[in-house]
Structure 1
Amino acid sequence: MPAELASTLTSIARTDEPAEQPFYIPMTGPAARPRRSLKHDDTFIVLDGHGDIGASAGGPDGLFNADTRYLARLELTLDDVQPLLLGSSLRDDNSSLTVDLTNPDIYEQGRLVLPKDVLHVVRTIFLWRGTAYQRIGVQNHGDRRASFDLRLAFDNDFADLFEVRGSVRARRGTGSSRLAGPSDVVLDYRGLDGVTRTTALHFDPHPTRLAVDVATYHFDLDPQQSTSLFVAVTCNAKAGERPGRFFRSLLAHRREMRRCTQGATSIETSNDILNEVLCQAAADLNILMTDTPEGRYPYAGIPWYSTTFGRDGLITAMQMLWVDPRIARGVLRRLAFYQARQTDPLADAEPGKILHEMRGGEMAALREVPFACYYGSVDSTPLFVLLAGLYIERTGDMETLQELWPAIEQALNWIDGPGDPDRDGFVEYQRASEQGLSNQGWKDSYDAVFHADGRLAEGHIALAEVQGYVFAGKQLAARCARRLGKAERADRLETEAALLATRFEDAFWCEDLNTYALALDGNKQPCRVRTSNAGQLLFSGMVREDRARKVAADLLRPHFFSGWGIRTVARGEARYNPMSYHDGSIWPHDNALIALGLSRYGFKHAVEQVFRGLFEAAAYMDLRRLPELFCGFRRETHRGPTLYPVACAPQAWASATPFTLLEAALGLEFDAARGEIRLRNPRLPAFLDWVVLRDLRLGSSTIDLRVRRHGEDISMEVLRRRGRIQVSLVLAQ
């Protein structure tokens, strides 16, 4: 995942290393209350368990839109006292957060005026179309009248997301606040980029008293009497525009969320906990999806990456390709639209490169950070070619292929041109500007690429897995070229892929380690380190079968496999740290891609082991939600996995992981040209007796399947078929 970000909580390092982390996300103390997140399109909100914003330390609270915070505080008190939490929960589809509160004992001049547990306060919060809606219901369950003030204190700083992450700015714009009537407050900020950003707060009914930073309601409630008030906070509301009514907007929001999931494959299994994991993952992916002019796009994660990321979108779309290929189409079309057309060193842009990250905040507009449209990833471009080929194999969508082919050719030209500056046949990176990311693979922490003695790799760096992406991408692009009648181009691409595979084996294989080097540095010296990068090579299909077997066996040994999953770096390597961001932690999506590779080479027992570890980890997680990453400590009996403190949750490719693991276990293959779905050497893990796939789609046809486990054997039953579609069970040694 994009990790301008984090690296390690502790480090092996040298005294000059912290200076290499300009986009590090600090963690200065524990969160006083757990956080909950909601998102709709380009807006997301982070609240604490009480439904407050900014009332407790340790969280990136706020209402955010386009990388700017539009509300930094919204705190509810009863007679100036914080209420007590009864409970809070997200709705199953992530459409709303409900918080139940009650009053503590409230005293006035030493006299108890309101005993605890008399008032029931229910806060219901959701996001829709740039507005945060909140209903606050209050009921008096006492036997006498309750008189009290309910206050909502609010404020904002219009902080850029990078400021929230810890960046310090020398100068900022100017802000103001004003009353716009008995029910409305407007907060403005005129940025240094010349853009005015506005937060409008609307209260219904009129507060008893309203100031520019607090709304006060006085209530006198008889026994069992209840009342409600509504708050709407809108980002950049147009002049005279009022937010929609609460209940009407909530129903419209939920209808929209249901509509967006129609047409995707649904899954049911014999394991209730896995069903919960899959339902949560699907709900998380649904809220991370964002409508863009080019199609729906999975934003990378909340809170730090709620925007278009190339690598994350491509891998998430790849993971979900069997479930819903429409995601891939939206990702490919959007990234083709933003493909680099010219050279820009600050943005690490070169013609043909695919976007790494885009940001809409003030600091990006002023180029205080280089991420307005930033191209500093070495793998987004080959992954774009790879996903395009997989999408065509999955769907046979010739219209989209013809639309995308010019972008595919430009990406291939970058791979063979600027992406390989010394023309040695390997795609390499070195940042073009000191403001850019020093490492530009998916492990992009400053210390993620190193030699066996711990020295950081320098110069133009060729990552192992990136060469695999190029290999697979060229093979698939060759098939696309043949579909378009470009036989000569197809032959050339196939030859280039074969030559790359041969060169790669010679340059990267480390016989004494029984695995492939992490990378080649600028002097063409291999980084002889055991890492999970070698596992992703299996997914690409580039490596020799005998060596793939050695890599797979090593990944399942205790120095790699913690019991919960495969670590990014094996225990015992120089920079191994189970609490680090990339040097010993466990990333669900990394394990998912490795599982696809293990399945590809027929190592189904290994797939089962990885699947079981991550499933059991998810069972311990809050909401059954796999986070971006977690710590790589060895599994201990009767204890869950150790969390990483600033991991995104939800996070797109982590949410897609359970679906990818199921794909790997079933050995799903799609042949659009023949109208056939194949299950190659399927094997269900021991915690699954059966799996039902409904509306598994190929072209305009769909099929419902039940796959059942009989010990180590599998049976398959077709439950329903619509259209012309074949399904087969392939058992091969």
Structure 2
Amino acid sequence: MTASDRVLLVREGTFVSLGSDGAITGSAGASPDGLFLRDARHLSRWELTVDGTAPAVLAGASEGPRATCVLTPAGTRDEPPAYTVFREQAVDAGVFTERLRIVSNRPEAMTARLALWVDADFADQFELRSDHRTYPKPDAARTVEMTPQGIEFDYRRGDWHSRTSVAATPAPDASTAGSDGTARRLVWSVELAAHGQAEVNLRVEAHPCGAAPRPLPAASADPVPELADAEGDLLRACTQGLADLDLLRIQATGPDGEPVSMPAAGIPWFLTLFGRDSLLTSYFALPYRPRTAAGTLAALAATQGTEYDAFRGEQPGRIVHEVRHGELAHFRQVPYGRYYGSVDATPLFLVLLHAHAEATADRALAVRLERHARAAVEWMFTDGGLDEHGYLVYEPDPNGLVNQNWKDSAGAICHIDGTQAKGPVAVCEAQGYAYDALVRTASLARTTWHDPAYAQRLETAAAALRTRFHRDFWMAEQGFPALALDGDGRQVDALASDAGHLLWSGILDQDRAEQVGRRLLRPDFFTGWAIRTLAADQAPYHPLSYHRGSCWPHDNALVALGLARHGLTKELTTLARGLVEAAAHHGYRLPEVMAGYDRSELPEPVPYPHSCSPQAWAAATPLALLTALREGS
């Protein structure tokens, strides 16, 4: 199954990925299918046969609250199919349901034999990525038990226990085991009257290890967003983006144990809390969904680092990068149960906290999270590197990520010849975020926490950081900032889109901001749809590289906000038009990432083959564009 064949149903932190025929085949790699909850696959096979063969697709399923497809057994023009099968499937919190309706097309009674192959492999999502890694599972055991209404799959490993139950109405007439000992075939003999119909209803319940699925508060609890001045394709993209953000909501816990909802990062790999992704998504949505930001800030405050754990990268005050609930995280075979390998989530937490207070004119959350904010600031000065290095820095993590900024793939932070920068690495956009965080937190200290001495300390530090940045990062010959400084203080000289974030954060002066903004709209950067992550005339550029030539909508959204901040209206209009037109080609749902091919080469954007969709910060990008166009007009 490829991404283009995939049908996704998402609700309450649970999702199912199906083929257009409603089937699950147990695929892995770029586009795994199955029923997923809390980082585990609770249904890995769900394949229907009618009279011994897989029926053909007459009308494929499409995404929505429910997926309905129409299937028929073999037939010809002279002997049309004897009956038609309608599959209606839906997902809820930890539950997948299917209504199978078989309708006779003949004037006489008949019997149809339905069979459904079912299996649950309980694979951790990290096992499904096809990244050539294997994870030993000593003493793990799967068992299968037939029940009066169906079947139950059980998985145990030490203190880890997960279950998947399947119940059918009517109960199956028979069942048979597959050759692997776990898959089961459930069989029904269905009597059909002349032009009659019959139903089989199925209910699959996932019982993950740990917390049981809980319903989220209704999305309608959020204020109705004001989109009055959006129109045409931008309005459609904003509307789709808001709908996708509702789909991606998950429940988390705030610092006092209270339930909160927040946006997960994306599907299929990231339906969980991600610090950087959730923070930027919430910032983009802030003028339209302020409660999203409040939930994100509370959840991240609750998971803020409190101790040193080198395996997970935890440090006091550091904001979490990623939270996982799967088996491999539980047994610390991967560090991502709570993984802190992010250089930028901590300053972005401070940026969003101040922005929320300003946007809502409500200081209660900033007061409540004051100690978390102060701890985040202290991390920036200490373990983050501001005191020792003058900049926020990171070292490659042997347990996790080589790069710990948003371009977190290996090799993404590179010199113009393509060689990876060696640490401790100071990426340019993180310095902009740090500057903005210091300025904004100083404002909170003066106006909300009533601590002018602390405010003065942060303002002084911000001004000094800005001065250093202009001195050390600016490449005069190129008229552009370096992507990073390496561990020896040398400029990492690839021309990269990260520079556009500096316009948003305000660390550049007006003259240099204008130079950068205009440079990013030149043809080697701008494809006509979006700005590439690397300019196309450099050695490491590749249009299908994850971070060395592709185009990321959220990256472009930050550029757009920066263009608006510095009055670059012409460039903003050009960029916004390209992104909105790209959204229109994707059914108004921007993907996580697009290939970097120029618009002159093909009439529509080229997909990136491993892109998540829906994906939170891409879903929120049209909202950021609307904000930028308002501010830039």
Partner of 1:218: 189
Q: Alpha-carbon deviation of 1:199? A: 0.5
Query: Structure 1 residues 586, 434: closer, same or farther in 2, change over 3 A?
Result: same
Alignment of 1:220-619 (within 5 A): 220-236=191-207, 259-260=219-220, 262-267=222-227, 271-294=231-254, 295-420=260-385, 423-431=388-396, 433-483=397-447, 484-619=449-584
Output the CA distance in 2 between the equivalents of 1:216 and 1:174. 26
Query: Structure 1 residues 602, 642: closer, same or farther in 2, change over 3 A?
Result: same
Give 3-state SS (helix, strand or coil) of 2:123's partner: coil
Output the CA distance in 1 between the equivalents of 2:159 and 2:28. 32
Output the CA distance in 2 between the equivalents of 1:492 and 1:423. 17
Corresponding position: 1:53 with 2:13: no
Partner of 1:249: none
| Equivalent residue letter for 1:283 | A
Percent identical: 37
Q: Deviations over 1:378-410 (max 9, x none)?
A: 000011111111111111222211111100000
CA contact (8 A) 2:42 2:206 kept: yes
Output the CA distance in 1 between the equivalents of 2:54 and 2:4. 13
Output the CA distance in 1 between the equivalents of 2:537 and 2:221. 45
Partner of 1:36: 7
Q: Alpha-carbon deviation of 1:637? A: 6.6
Output the CA distance in 1 between the equivalents of 2:412 and 2:239. 33
Q: Deviations over 1:663-716 (max 9, x none)?
A: 10011xxxxxxxxxxxxx42xxxxxxxxxxxxxxxxxxxxxxxxxxxxxxxxxx
Partner of 2:137: 171
Q: Deviations over 1:582-638 (max 9, x none)?
A: 0000000000111000000011211111111111111111x4321110100011376
Output the CA distance in 2 between the equivalents of 1:143 and 1:608. 63
Output the CA distance in 2 between the equivalents of 1:562 and 1:615. 13
Output the CA distance in 1 between the equivalents of 2:545 and 2:208. 42
Partner of 1:63: 35
Output the CA distance in 1 between the equivalents of 2:16 and 2:154. 19
Output the CA distance in 2 between the equivalents of 1:422 and 1:491. 17
Partner of 1:102: 72
Q: Deviations over 1:450-496 (max 9, x none)?
A: 11222210020001000000111111111111122111111221121
Partner of 1:157: 121
Give the total of aligned pairs: 615
Query: Structure 1 residues 650, 309: closer, same or farther in 2, change over 3 A?
Result: same
Query: Structure 1 residues 651, 524: closer, same or farther in 2, change over 3 A?
Result: same
| Equivalent residue letter for 1:311 | R
CA contact (8 A) 1:32 1:56 kept: no
Q: Deviations over 1:241-269 (max 9, x none)?
A: 9x9xxxxxxxx99xx78644641315356
Q: Alpha-carbon deviation of 1:309? A: 0.6
Normalised by the length of structure 2, the TM-score is 0.93
Partner of 1:16: none
Alignment of 1:81-96 (within 5 A): 81-90=53-62, 94-96=64-66
- Indicate which of 606, 613, 626 corresponds to 1:649: 613
| Equivalent residue letter for 2:147 | A
* Structure 1 stretch displaced more, 31-40 or 352-361: 31-40
Corresponding position: 1:188 with 2:188: no
Query: Structure 1 residues 262, 338: closer, same or farther in 2, change over 3 A?
Result: closer
Query: Structure 1 residues 638, 161: closer, same or farther in 2, change over 3 A?
Result: closer
Partner of 2:180: none
Query: Structure 1 residues 268, 127: closer, same or farther in 2, change over 3 A?
Result: farther
| Equivalent residue letter for 1:573 | Q
CA contact (8 A) 1:257 1:286 kept: no
| Equivalent residue letter for 2:410 | Y
CA contact (8 A) 1:33 1:49 kept: no
CA contact (8 A) 1:147 1:221 kept: yes
Corresponding position: 1:200 with 2:165: yes
Query: Structure 1 residues 274, 151: closer, same or farther in 2, change over 3 A?
Result: farther
Output the CA distance in 2 between the equivalents of 1:482 and 1:586. 39
Gaps of 5+ in 2: 178-183, 255-259
Gaps of 5+ in 1: 1-29, 107-111, 244-251, 668-680, 683-733
CA contact (8 A) 2:13 2:248 kept: no
Partner of 2:49: 77
Q: Alpha-carbon deviation of 1:296? A: 0.7
| Equivalent residue letter for 2:460 | T
* Structure 1 stretch displaced more, 359-368 or 94-103: 94-103
Output the CA distance in 2 between the equivalents of 1:606 and 1:261. 37
| Equivalent residue letter for 1:95 | P
- Indicate which of 112, 130, 136 corresponds to 1:148: 112
Output the CA distance in 2 between the equivalents of 1:303 and 1:67. 10
| Equivalent residue letter for 1:407 | H
| Equivalent residue letter for 1:603 | L
| Equivalent residue letter for 1:100 | V
| Equivalent residue letter for 2:345 | S
Output the CA distance in 2 between the equivalents of 1:297 and 1:53. 29
Query: Structure 1 residues 421, 500: closer, same or farther in 2, change over 3 A?
Result: closer
Q: Deviations over 1:204-262 (max 9, x none)?
A: 11122234611112223234322222111111189xx9x9xxxxxxxx99xx7864464
Query: Structure 1 residues 117, 278: closer, same or farther in 2, change over 3 A?
Result: farther
Output the CA distance in 1 between the equivalents of 2:327 and 2:483. 37
CA contact (8 A) 2:35 2:44 kept: yes
Output the CA distance in 1 between the equivalents of 2:602 and 2:218. 38
Q: Alpha-carbon deviation of 1:117? A: 4.3
RMSD of equivalent CA atoms: 2.3
| Equivalent residue letter for 2:35 | L
Q: Deviations over 1:526-576 (max 9, x none)?
A: 111110000011010110111111101110000000011000010012210
Query: Structure 1 residues 97, 398: closer, same or farther in 2, change over 3 A?
Result: same
Q: Deviations over 1:268-303 (max 9, x none)?
A: 567554443333222211010112233111110111
CA contact (8 A) 2:13 2:249 kept: no
Normalised by the length of structure 1, the TM-score is 0.80
Query: Structure 1 residues 345, 638: closer, same or farther in 2, change over 3 A?
Result: closer
Query: Structure 1 residues 180, 323: closer, same or farther in 2, change over 3 A?
Result: same
Output the CA distance in 1 between the equivalents of 2:229 and 2:337. 43
Partner of 1:640: 604
